[in-house]
């Protein structure tokens, strides 16, 4: 029997390794920027084309490499950061496995230009599919430039599994943000298809967050800080009133490395207990510092999962730190929440003698008597000859008590007459609007209750969905343009979806990062613009949403904003029209966001109310 076990060729082994390390263009961005950070760079530039599928270029002003180091960096398991196994437990740098560049070179066309600080000539290397196709001297400024083109050119199956350009760009933006947040001392430039997305100067931690996510974030942040023998914690958490309906800016970092942890996320959520509902999510930027020996970052190829030696203690410390910060900045409820300021006494009040209060009443008042009572009437309490302080005894009058019961019975009878419903009346004729929010109408089984806003939302959503692709929504020009400041990434997503947004009825110009709206959808009230924009941005910045879904989400945002808080007094004709249009919908039971529109109150339910 012949031997069947053999060593894989290097190109196949590198492609297998690439499958673990390089999952999408964002993985390339992560590895290249992390290497640039480790090179000691003070400025890093990221330029991508075609969401990274066409080209990814990272330029740094770090220390550069010699000709031999440049060539060796593309070999598997080649690293400058490990010499012994013990070094794994004292790592302070980013990449260290020595697989990143080799994996990238195995599935793309790579060009590297690098030069050391004091050298006059640098090195240029071109590689395709793990093979060096060119190596020659070059001249450039200090540092390194790596360009990756045609990603997955020799692995078409992997390329076919990539998402749309919008989705892949969002992943790249997320990787960029994670590294930029951990290194506020570094200047970053990020462009996509020639357009500058971010250009941020070195700054402190708070300023870096504001530069990445917009000026409005400055008022949303509460600082946290705690130093212990186990862990040092610092960073920022969001104020509860600025929470979001979807998970947004939630970041954990340990020793300047981004990581994910459901366990520690639970500690953050618990700190907001009784401050947020289950459908709200706070923002947080939390940085942990632990001894390198108490941390294992080598448990996952992308190094986004880590193991802590003292995870349970870190959980409790993090929980108490956030609670303390929220309380310190008067976010959480005060401990003596029952204290009333009006009960505080001055020094003069404390010395004043306390007098028992007296009650002054009119003992002759009778609501069931037309004329004033006679002063001679008294009422003696049976079995008690004493007189209540401030009251004179009265004598009950039998005629007045009989009159009281007579009036009460007549009142109850008249009320019953008013509340009677005729079961033979038509569904289309008898309707009542309750507090401008609900419609109440009689049906054979009892009463039908309809939520007016949700009914309008369903009607409008169906109409927009049916006509959107054929007929754009009409616009209304604004007398005064409306301005709304965007984050850099939000501006990118808005431009990515500009064709659909224009069909929705929006017209705008840009003033740097500020959206200047000149026209809005005709169905939208001016007061609803901020909420509508917030909702649209929240939808289009979700990472795993494709173009087919984005149309549904945008129409849902618009119909929801246009009908929210639109309650008014309806005429009978408007009530009839609302119900008629609602029941034409196949989904008339639920709103587009999944909330119940109507419910039936049966006769049995009504009977139980009066038991």
Domain map (residue ranges) of the chain: 10-200, 206-328, 375-382+391-420, 421-611
Given this chain, do its domains 206-328 and 421-611 carry the same CATH topology?
Answer: no
Contact (CB, 8 A) for 74 and 104: no
Contact (CB, 8 A) for 421 and 575: no
- Least confidently predicted of 132-146, 260-274, 291-305, 593-607: 291-305
Q: How far apart are CA 403 and CA 393, in angstroms?
A: 22
Q: How far apart are CA 247 and CA 244, in angstroms?
A: 7
Given this model, what pLDDT does residue 421 score? 39
- Residue range 206-328, CATH number: 3.30.230.10
Q: pLDDT band at residue 495, thresholds of 50, 70 and 90? A: confident
Given this model, what pLDDT does residue 331 score? 57
Contact (CB, 8 A) for 44 and 36: yes
Q: How far apart are CA 303 and CA 254, in angstroms?
A: 11
Query: In 302-424, which ranges are continuous DSSP H helix?
Result: 311-328, 347-351, 398-419
Mean pLDDT over residues 315-340, rounded? 72
Contact (CB, 8 A) for 593 and 460: no
Given this model, what pLDDT does residue 427 score? 45
What are the φ and ψ backbone dihedral angles of 516, each rounded to 5 degrees?
-110, 105
- Least confidently predicted of 2-11, 222-231, 339-348, 601-610: 339-348
In this predicted structure, the answer to whether residue 376 has a pLDDT above a threshold of 50 is: no
Q: How far apart are CA 271 and CA 267, in angstroms?
A: 6
Radius of gyration, CA atoms only, the chain: 36
Q: How far apart are CA 310 and CA 189, in angstroms?
A: 37
Mean pLDDT over residues 416-421, rounded? 39
123 token code pair: 């090195």
Query: In 44-122, which ranges are continuous DSSP H helix?
Result: 67-72, 100-106
In this predicted structure, the answer to whether residue 474 has a pLDDT above a threshold of 90 is: no
Q: How far apart are CA 363 and CA 379, in angstroms?
A: 9
pTM of the model: 0.68
Burial 136-150 (b: 16+ CB within 10 A, else e): eeeebebbbbbbbbe
> Which residue has better confidence, 512 or 173?
173
- The third-level CATH classification (topology) of the domain covering 10-200 is Heat Shock Protein 90 (3.30.565)
Contact (CB, 8 A) for 170 and 493: yes
Contact (CB, 8 A) for 519 and 478: yes
Taking CA atoms, 37 is separated from 186, 190, 202, 292, 563, in Å, by 8, 15, 14, 19, 49
261-270, 362-371, 385-394: range with highest mean pLDDT: 261-270
Query: In 81-230, which ranges are continuous DSSP H helix?
Result: 100-106, 156-160, 165-182, 205-213
Q: What is the average pLDDT value for the chain, to the nearest integer?
A: 79
Contact (CB, 8 A) for 596 and 590: yes
List pLDDT tens digits, range 45-84: 999 999 999 999 999 999 999 888 888 888 876 665 544 5
- Least confidently predicted of 51-55, 382-386, 453-457, 557-561: 382-386
Mean pLDDT over residues 318-323, rounded? 94
247 token code pair: 């998970």
Given this model, what pLDDT does residue 98 score? 52
List pLDDT tens digits, range 1-16: 567 777 767 666 666 6
In this predicted structure, the answer to whether residue 363 has a pLDDT above a threshold of 60 is: yes
At the top level of CATH, the class of 421-611 is alpha beta
List CB contacts of 149: < 8 A, sequence separation 6 or more.
54, 55, 56, 108, 109, 110, 111
- Least confidently predicted of 100-104, 203-207, 485-489: 485-489
Please compute, for residue 452, the number of CA atoms within 13 A of its CA located in the half-sphere on the CB side.
21
List CB contacts of 569: < 8 A, sequence separation 6 or more.
433, 436
Q: pLDDT band at residue 187, thresholds of 50, 70 and 90? A: very high
């Amino acid at each position: 029997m012949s031997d069947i076990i053999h060593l894989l060729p290097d190109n196949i082994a590198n492609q297998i390794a690439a499958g673990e390390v390089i999952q999408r263009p964002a993985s390339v961005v992560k590895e290249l920027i992390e290497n640039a950070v480790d090179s000691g760079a003070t400025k890093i530039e990221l330029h991508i084309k075609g969401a990274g599928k066409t080209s990814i270029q990272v330029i740094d002003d770090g220390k550069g490499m010699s000709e031999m180091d440049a060539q060796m960096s593309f070999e598997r398991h080649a690293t400058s950061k490990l010499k012994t196994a013990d070094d794994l437990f004292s790592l302070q740098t980013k990449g260290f496995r020595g697989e990143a560049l080799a994996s990238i070179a195995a599935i793309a066309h790579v060009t590297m230009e690098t030069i050391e600080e004091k050298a006059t000539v640098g090195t240029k290397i071109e590689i395709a599919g793990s093979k060096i196709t060119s190596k020659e001297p070059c001249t450039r400024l200090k540092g390194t430039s790596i360009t990756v083109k045609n990603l997955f050119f020799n692995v078409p199956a992997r390329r076919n599994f990539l998402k749309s350009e919008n989705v892949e760009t969002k992943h790249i933006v997320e990787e960029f943000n994670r590294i930029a947040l951990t290194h506020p001392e570094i200047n970053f430039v990020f462009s996509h298809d020639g357009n500058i997305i971010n250009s941020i100067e070195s700054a402190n931690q708070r300023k870096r967050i504001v530069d990445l996510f917009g000026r409005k974030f400055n008022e949303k942040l509460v600082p946290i800080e705690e130093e212990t023998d186990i862990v040092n914690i610092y960073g920022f958490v969001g104020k509860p009133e600025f929470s979001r309906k979807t998970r947004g800016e939630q970041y954990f970092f340990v020793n300047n490395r981004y990581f994910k942890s459901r366990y520690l996320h639970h500690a953050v959520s618990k700190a907001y207990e009784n401050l947020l509902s289950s459908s709200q999510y706070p923002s947080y930027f939390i940085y942990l510092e632990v001894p390198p020996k108490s941390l294992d970052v080598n448990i996952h190829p992308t190094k986004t999962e880590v193991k802590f030696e003292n995870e349970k203690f870190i959980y409790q410390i993090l929980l108490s730190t956030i609670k303390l910060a929220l309380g310190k900045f008067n976010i959480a409820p005060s401990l003596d929440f029952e204290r009333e300021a009006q009960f505080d006494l001055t020094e003069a009040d404390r010395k004043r003698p306390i007098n028992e209060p007296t009650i002054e009443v009119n003992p002759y008042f009778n609501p069931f008597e037309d004329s004033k009572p006679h002063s001679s009437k008294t009422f003696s309490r049976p079995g008690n000859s004493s007189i209540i302080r401030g009251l004179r005894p009265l004598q009950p009058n039998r005629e007045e008590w009989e009159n009281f019961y007579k009036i009460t019975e007549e009142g109850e009878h008249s009320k019953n007459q008013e509340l009677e419903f005729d079961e033979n009346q038509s569904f289309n004729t008898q309707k009542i609007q309750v507090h401008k929010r609900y419609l109440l109408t009689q049906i054979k089984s009892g009463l039908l209750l309809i939520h007016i806003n949700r009914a309008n939302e369903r009607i409008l959503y169906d109409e927009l969905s049916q006509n959107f692709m054929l007929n754009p929504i009409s616009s209304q020009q604004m007398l005064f343009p409306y301005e709304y400041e965007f984050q850099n990434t939000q501006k990118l997503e808005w431009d990515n979806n500009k064709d659909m947004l224009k069909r929705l009825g929006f017209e705008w110009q840009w003033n740097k990062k500020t959206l200047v709206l000149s026209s809005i959808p005709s169905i939208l009230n001016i007061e609803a613009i901020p909420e509508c924009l917030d909702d649209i941005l929240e939808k289009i910045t979700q990472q795993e949403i494709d173009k087919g879904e984005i149309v549904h989400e945008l129409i849902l945002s618009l119909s929801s904003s246009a009908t929210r808080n639109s309650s008014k007094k309806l005429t009978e004709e408007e009530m009839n029209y609302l119900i008629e249009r609602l029941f034409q919908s196949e989904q008339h039971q639920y709103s587009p966001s999944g909330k119940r529109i109507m419910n039936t109150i049966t006769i049995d339910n009504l009977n139980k109310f009066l038991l």
